[in-house]
């Protein structure tokens, strides 16, 4: 036996670390490759991509190019440039009416994924209890389990507008909870949170002494009025919020965002971060500052594009029988996974026991990529971030979708 395998941390499975099964997105990628080999000339209609298809705005790219030449930007950024924090504070105030101190209420991070890991390292002790919704982005609950914490899941259900129902938490556990994770506008459901819901969340947090961790990755892409949990009175006493330059500003690979909110948590997270990374390249922070200062020239264009695509997608899906939930933000469309598929003659051509089975069929037979969510019911997530730079290409993409779906009827009987 290779003795090195014995040295792998138990949190990763020890010597069985690579035998826990493939990650969902790895499986989808494998199926995509097989579909490409079967039909190399058939366009793959990829609704699985979860990142913006457009590049950063040209004036942001130019800002980066100019900043790369600055001698003073060559070194470590550590816990963030003051100029970026000032831009963040101005953006949060003008967009969400949230006032933040740049000195101790804002911490730049290498994107929300890294930020969630930093927060887990800052907050979680063995046996700590964390409330996480399902389905959800898995980083914070996974890190919690890595650190010996426990995860209590709350289902996001259509009948509750994909909001967690805290009344479902047993009373004997409520004072034992350390953190509650939220994410609105939500991935994958597309649901939005109202001010009333956030007010209720803060009330629960203050009553039972919970820390609220709000993953606001899609906050810039809210189709209603922009909303931050930190705009709720009392929220700073118990909450931190994570924002990203990725989704609303088309800067996914640039890896930059920020955590803001409760001063004590920000200070503790800063201390942990000092032993985790050396900060994002200052030239990137300079370019992101430009993006934040000119957000009104970037974000509305992205919102218009995603809403236009979402409306087209929903119409096609509904015409072929899909049960669709209209998103309130982001770039995802969430649907119930059908149980059966019928052809035009009325003959049943497929039965599905879960969303994964439906995803496999769509890819293998129609070369359409979706993401299955079987954690809480059976659902499919469609992303509208496919590559189509022009309206003509976008319309051609949707025409292909119509052609492939129209011979079938997707059923829920």
Instruction: Verify that 74 and 191 share a domain, yes or no.
Output: yes
Instruction: Verify that 99 and 36 share a domain, yes or no.
Output: no
**Domain boundary, last residue among 295, 310, 332:** 295
CATH assignment at residue 316: 3.90.1150.10
Helix axes 282-293, 82-96, angle to 10 degrees: 30
Residue 12 inside a domain? The answer is: no
* pLDDT, mean over the chain: 95
Instruction: Verify that 123 and 236 share a domain, yes or no.
Output: yes
First to last CA, the chain: 52
Residue 16 inside a domain? The answer is: no
> Which range has the worst mean pLDDT, 7-21, 176-190, 282-296, 353-367?
7-21
Instruction: Verify that 390 and 405 share a domain, yes or no.
Output: yes
Q: Are 370 and 38 in contact (CB under 8 A)?
A: no
Residue 1 predicted with pLDDT over 70: no
Q: Which pLDDT value is given to residue 37?
A: 75
User: In whole angstroms, what is the distance from residue 204 CA to residue 8 CA?
Assistant: 39
Range 173-183 average pLDDT: 98
Q: Are 128 and 150 in contact (CB under 8 A)?
A: yes
User: In whole angstroms, what is the distance from residue 40 CA to residue 43 CA?
Assistant: 8
Instruction: Verify that 63 and 207 share a domain, yes or no.
Output: yes
Query: Quick one: residue 156, left, alpha or beta (phi over 0 = left, psi -120 to 50 = alpha)?
Result: beta
Instruction: Verify that 312 and 200 share a domain, yes or no.
Output: no
**21 burial class (0-12, 13-18, 19+ CB within 10 angstroms)?**
exposed
185 confidence band (pLDDT: 50, 70, 90): very high
Q: Which pLDDT value is given to residue 20?
A: 62
> Which range has the worst mean pLDDT, 57-61, 213-217, 361-365?
361-365
**Domain boundary, last residue among 268, 295, 322:** 295
**260 DSSP β-pair partners:** 106, 241
Instruction: Verify that 66 and 50 share a domain, yes or no.
Output: no
In a 3-state reduction of DSSP, which class is residue 16? helix
Per-residue pLDDT of 94-151, as tens digits, reads 999 999 999 999 999 999 999 999 999 999 999 999 999 999 999 999 999 999 999 9
Instruction: Verify that 174 and 85 share a domain, yes or no.
Output: yes
Per-residue pLDDT of 283-295, as tens digits, reads 999 999 999 999 9
Q: Which domain holds residue 36?
A: 22-54+299-411
Instruction: Verify that 104 and 48 share a domain, yes or no.
Output: no
Range 407-412 average pLDDT: 96
Number of domains in the chain: 2
**Domain boundary, last residue among 295, 311, 337:** 295
pTM score > 0.85 for this model?
A: yes
Instruction: Verify that 118 and 190 share a domain, yes or no.
Output: yes
Residue 17 inside a domain? The answer is: no
Instruction: Verify that 375 and 403 share a domain, yes or no.
Output: yes
Residue 148 inside a domain? The answer is: yes
Instruction: Verify that 303 and 200 share a domain, yes or no.
Output: no
The sign of the torsion formed by the CA atoms of 72, 78, 81, 87 equals positive
């Amino acid at each position: 036996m290779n003795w090195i395998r014995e040295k792998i941390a138990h949190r990763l499975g020890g010597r069985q670390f690579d035998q826990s099964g493939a990650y969902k997105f790895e499986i989808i990628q494998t199926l995509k490759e097989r579909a490409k080999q079967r039909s190399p000339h058939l366009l793959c209609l990829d609704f699985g991509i979860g990142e913006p298809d457009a590049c950063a705005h040209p004036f942001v790219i130019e800002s980066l190019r100019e900043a790369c030449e600055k001698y003073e930007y060559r070194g470590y950024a550590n816990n963030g440039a003051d100029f970026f924090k000032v831009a963040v504070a101005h953006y949060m105030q003008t967009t969400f009416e949230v006032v933040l101190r740049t000195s101790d209420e804002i911490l730049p991070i290498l994107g929300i994924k890294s930020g969630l890991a930093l927060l887990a390292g800052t907050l979680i002790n063995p046996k700590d209890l964390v409330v996480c919704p399902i389905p959800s982005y898995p980083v914070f609950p996974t890190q919690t389990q890595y650190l010996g914490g426990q995860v209590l899941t709350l289902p996001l259900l259509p009948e509750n507008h994909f909001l967690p129902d805290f009344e479902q938490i047993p009373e004997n556990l409520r004072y034992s909870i350390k953190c509650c994770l939220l994410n609105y506008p939500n991935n994958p459901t597309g649901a939005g949170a109202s001010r009333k819901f956030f007010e209720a969340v803060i009330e629960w947090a203050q009553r039972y002494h919970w820390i609220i961790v709000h993953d606001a990755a899609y906050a810039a892409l809210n189709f209603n009025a922009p909303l931050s949990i930190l705009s709720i009175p009392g929220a700073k006493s118990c909450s931190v919020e994570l924002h990203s330059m990725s989704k609303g500003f088309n800067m996914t690979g640039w890896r930059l965002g920020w955590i803001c909110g409760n001063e004590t948590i920000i200070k503790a997270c800063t201390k942990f971060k000092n032993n985790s990374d050396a900060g994002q390249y200052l030239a990137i922070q300079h370019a992101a500052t430009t993006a934040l200062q000119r957000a009104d020239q970037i974000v509305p264009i992205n919102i218009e594009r995603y809403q236009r695509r979402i409306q087209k997608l929903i119409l096609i899906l509904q015409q072929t029988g899909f049960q669709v939930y209209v998103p309130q933000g982001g770039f995802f469309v969430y649907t119930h996974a059908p149980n059966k598929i019928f052809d035009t003659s009325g003959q049943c051509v497929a039965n599905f026991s879960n969303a994964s089975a439906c995803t496999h069929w769509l890819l293998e037979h129609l070369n359409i990529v979706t993401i299955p969510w079987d954690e809480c019911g059976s659902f499919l997530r469609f992303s509208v971030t496919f590559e189509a730079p022009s309206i003509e290409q976008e319309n051609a993409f949707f025409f292909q979708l119509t052609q492939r779906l129209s011979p079938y009827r997707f059923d829920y009987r």
